[in-house]
Structure 1
Amino acid sequence: MKFKIYSLRFTYIIFLATLIYYTFVNDNHLVASIAGILFFFNGFWLLSVEKDFEKYNPKYNKSISCTFWRFLLFPWFIIM
């Protein structure tokens, strides 16, 4: 379970950074659109795994890590 959540978090950050870079800095819309689609699906999967992880570990909801990842999931909620 932890490997799944850490790998999803890593790919989420990579796709978010790629999306920001190719949208605002490099202005390459093809790569930005692919990164956006992958960011969308990865965020959906990460959100469901985060909820499962809360059920698995009840102390996780009160940790700083949970607050930090809720903050990082905020751009995904904006897109939704």
Structure 2
Amino acid sequence: MSCRALNAAIESGHLVDVPVDSIAADTLGARHASAMALEWAGGAAVHSVLVRDNAALTGYQLTLDSTEAPWRKNH
């Protein structure tokens, strides 16, 4: 699991660079989290969870297929 910028920052307590090598590399992958994201994560009950690529793809597909998705509503 190599797309874990915020997770790594939460674990270390400061911003760190991480390698990006997963299916998310071309869309969601970041070498490091933003200072604001780390600050918000530290001020809330945040539990960082890492998932494997196939689970991320499944979640992504379920979100796109959701009939409740805002982009599916007629305006």
TM-score w.r.t. structure 1 length? 0.25
In terms of fraction of residues, the more helix-rich structure is: 1
TM-score w.r.t. structure 2 length? 0.26
Larger Cα-atom Rg: 2
